[in-house]
Structure 1
Amino acid sequence: MQDEFEKQFAQLKERLKAANCKAKVTKNNNSLGLQATLPLKPGDQDQKGTGTKQYLISLGIPANLDGLKTAEEEAYELGKLIARKTFAWNEKYLGVKSKRKLEVKTFGELLERFESEYFKNHKRTIKSEHSFNNYLKELKRRIPLEQLATSNNLLQILDTTEPESYPRRNLAISISIFAKYFDIDVNIAEYLKRPKAQKRNIPSDSQIESAYLGYEQYANSRQKRGIKNRKFEDNWKIYRWIYGMLATYGLRPRELFLRPNIEWWLSTQNINSTWKVDELAKTGEREVLPLHERWIELFDLKNEEICIAVAKYFTDSISYTRLNSNKLANCNWFKKAKCGFTPYDLRHAWAIRAHLIGIPIKAASENLGHSVQMHTNTYQKWFSLDNRKTAIDTATAKQDMMKVLESRVKELELENQRLKIIIERLELEKQVIK
């Protein structure tokens, strides 16, 4: 039945095209609608100065064989109105969404409905909840709830942010998602420019090793001051273990919080000391290799007692709220231990270190759980002058070594030829003596 529908849908589109109809039939989820360039809808902005805009019109026609017939009739009817220049926005073409938009007055009212509208089109997962809560947090922080929900007000709010900054881009993305669900016509393309890379403090290997000691130092100083809640007395060991794993494997923090597979981690079968990222993580499941294996021992990452404590501590970390709480706690521990950098700086450091020691970009990006393009665009820009110098010095040293080896090979070849001549001469002398 579905194949027959798709076949007839394709034929319908060809008929409309052959008839030069000004309207097209579109399919969205389980309903059919129309698409056409029309005079501006009341209240919409004339961004291009043409007086027209391309619109998608939802008529609530079901996406089935009977619906195709109805949709074709509607397309021809709309096409005639456009051709005769007699089209006018009426209740039929404005649709339910536009009437609902007129009923809701403020951003506060819309934000109360944002979650239910968003998850009508998104399956609830850890990833989708994380995305939604980021949008909601950004909107609530920036948008006056009592203001009318208009495109002009949204643009004015965006104009209060610094041009080409991360706050502007993040807010613009959140507004675009929000506006889509409530049919607010707003053009934010100019607010989505990627910001220039900010300076980032990427720690060296020695700094990473030194910062590890800060956890125990803080714990000892806390003992002297007295601990209010004995239940959390040894939490520093858990978050120090998190620190060591982030440094050694370049993981995202949530890839340790989300159903940590300690059984595999401590298994005798885990001969390569890989960390298994759970399937619910941002980019799905994967198996991650360490870069500095010596850090596994240095940071005591296979300590069975601590690993079991980690498994218990993060047992119920499968909700956005719990994951976010763990993320904030981890950031706080970085501050308490006076690391001098953030959890994600360890991920950047892993990527840069991998490049410096010659790990192919494809292998490094797969280990980190992202695309080669993402790896190149994101991590190569954090190369400091020192890192570039190290990379150049290493490459130059390799070239110098190659020249030395080539020269040595030539010397050995000449020596080999000389020895062959000596052997041949000795053989001749031997024959003469006989």
Structure 2
Amino acid sequence: MPSSRTEWTLEAVNQRLKDGRVRVQLQQVGNRLLMRATLPPKPGSDRPKPYQQRIFLGLPANPDGFRRAEAEARLLGSRLVMGQFDWAAYLPAGKTLDGKPTAQWIREFKAHYLETHTLRPATWQNQWAKVYNRLPQEQPLNKDEVLRQVHATERNTRNRQATCQKLQKLAQFAGIEVDLLQYQGNYGASKVKARNVPSDEMIAATWQQIPNSAWRWVYGVMAAFGLRDHEVFFCHWTDEGLQVTQGKTGPRLVFQPLYPEWVEAWELRSPVLPKVQNLHELYEAGKLGDKVARQFRRYQVPFTPYDLRHAYGIRASVTFELPVTTAAALMGHTPQIHLQRYHRHIGLKTNQDAAKRVMERSDRPRPPA
């Protein structure tokens, strides 16, 4: 006789349902159980034929919940076989999305998503909650409302894209059959406003004009290592290079400064971090970058902190001719992002200089004999 611990698991229950030829399977979302089966369209649906749908049970994923969920699945399977299925038995509040306030769906989805993904609370607040807060919180979540929110945004914009992607995840979690991604448009890296990336000469000259030694160190590390503004506060030196301990894309080793001479000339091996009150709170709230930007403006730096990172990306690919994969690894993103985000900011003069250097090399390619 199997133990209750083994018997009342998702895998064990689904295996029994399969062995009994029950046309229903259980699924677990977060700590809650639901049934999935091929069911007739809901009342008012424009779908002509039965299709895979979910019925939320509101039962916890514990032994007692699995017992009750298996009984519900067998009852549903029996009704389907005998042609006695009726949505009226499953639509009352508490069984499916009907009647459940949108705010509750958002809370449950947030708990599930944060449990299954690595996401900073600030990222949820600034990117996900900002979309979900537009929904009427006390009304039931439904297809018409999520579509209305999508169409309320301007087409082919970052806002439309984010709205479609975030609402699609929520709708899928709630069992709403809707395809929002078809409306997200063609917003992408090509739509991003071109930057006036500073030259390396301007970057070096501006470093000398910053009077505060701590903020001059911040500036220098961002310029030489291409760090994001918040990563400057979470890095330290190792024998292999500069180790970033936390940031947007997690830990990484920046093993190559560009230029190495800046490290020595600017004394970057001797960290002098500025004192920032509530450092970790600002980081979690996603506001640490604002602090850096304010200091750049205070010292009249003629470009933004992120322009230093863009200059590093261009320098890696054009000036030092590093492979895209290497440049991307140094900056903590994918080769695809590197090509989309940084190469489009390379100006004509930079490209002309790069081509000239190659053509003047003694080992440049030669025409065939």
Provide the TM-score with structure 2 as the length reference.
0.75
Letter in 1 for 2:281: S
Deviation, 1:12, is: 3.6
Change (3 A) 1:85 1:377: farther
Could you say which residue in structure 2 is the equivalent of 1:285? Answer: 251
- The CA distance in 2 between the partners of 1:7 and 1:136, in whole Å, is 32
The counterpart of 1:324, out of the listed 286, 311, 332, is 286
Q: Tell me what 1:200 maps to.
A: 194
1:361 aligns with 2:324: yes
**Deviation sequence 1:323-350 (CA, Å, 0-9, x none):** 5332112223334445444333322322
- Sequence identity of aligned pairs in percent? 26
1:345 aligns with 2:307: yes
Q: Distance in 1 between matches of 2:206 and 2:107?
A: 41
Residue 303 of structure 1 deviates from its aligned partner by 5.2
Question: For residues 390 and 9 of structure 1, what CA distance do their matches in structure 2 show?
Answer: 67
Equivalent residues in 2 for 1:182-197 (5 A)? Answer: 186-196=178-188, 197=190
In the alignment, structure 1 residue 255 sits paired with structure 2 residue 231:
yes
CA contact (8 A) 2:122 2:284 kept: no
Is the Cα–Cα contact under 8 Å of residues 313 and 327 in structure 2 kept in the other structure?
A: yes
Residue aligned with 2:248, SS: coil
**What is the alpha-carbon distance in structure 1 between the residues aligned to residue 70 and residue 138 of structure 2?**
43
C-alpha separation in 2, matches of 1:182 and 1:11: 25
Contact 2:35 2:54 in 1 (8 A): yes
Q: What's the CA shift string for 1:373-402, capped at 9, x where partnerless? A: 44344434444444444444444444x534
Count of aligned pairs: 358
Q: In the aligned structure 1, how far is the partner of 2:218 from the partner of 2:300?
A: 15
Q: What does residue 152 of structure 2 align with?
A: 160
Q: What is the distance in 2 between the residues matched to 1:68 and 1:121?
A: 22
CA distance in 2, matches of 1:255, 1:396: 38
Specify whether residues 388 and 7 from structure 1 end up closer, same or farther in structure 2 by C-alpha distance, changes over 3 A only.
same
Q: Quick check: 2:94–2:100 contact (8 Å CA) kept in 1?
A: no
Does structure 1 residue 38 correspond to structure 2 residue 39? yes
**Aligned partner of residue 333 in structure 1, secondary structure:** helix
What one-letter code is carried by the residue in structure 2 that aligns with 1:90?
A: A
1:288–1:368 contact (8 Å) kept in structure 2: yes
Consecutive unaligned residues of structure 2, counting only runs of 5 or more, are none
Preserved CA contact (<8 Å) 2:328 2:334: yes
Instruction: Classify the secondary structure of the residue corresponding to 1:208.
Output: helix
Q: In structure 2, what residue type is equivalent to 1:245? A: V
Cα distance in 2 for residues equivalent to 1:296 and 1:193: 44
Structure 1 residue aligned with 2:48: 50
Q: Once superposed, what is the RMSD of the aligned Cα atoms?
A: 4.2
Report if aligned partners of 1:136, 1:174 keep a CA contact under 8 Å in 2.
yes
**Matched-pair contact (CA < 8 Å) for 2:27–2:36:** yes
Distance in 1, matches of 2:92 and 2:128, equals 28
Deviations 1:31-56 (A, max 9, x none): 5432123233356x64xx43555322
What is aligned with 1:430? none
Larger-Rg structure: 1
Q: Distance in 2 between matches of 1:126 and 1:319?
A: 18
Distance 1:95 1:373, change over 3 A: farther
CA 1:23/1:387 → structure 2, altered by over 3 Å: closer, same or farther?
farther
- Is the 8 Å Cα contact of residues 127 and 282 (structure 1) preserved in structure 2? no
Residues in 1 aligned to 2:16 and 2:260: alpha-carbon distance in whole angstroms: 62
Structure that is richer in helix per residue: 1
Residue 249 of structure 1 deviates from its aligned partner by 0.8
Structure 1 alignment gaps of length 5 or more: 217-235, 408-434
Give the match for residue 25 of structure 1: 26
1:241 corresponding residue in structure 2: 217
The answer on whether the counterparts of 2:153 and 2:159 sit within 8 Å (CA) in structure 1 is yes
Measured in 2, the distance between the counterparts of 1:75 and 1:183 equals 17
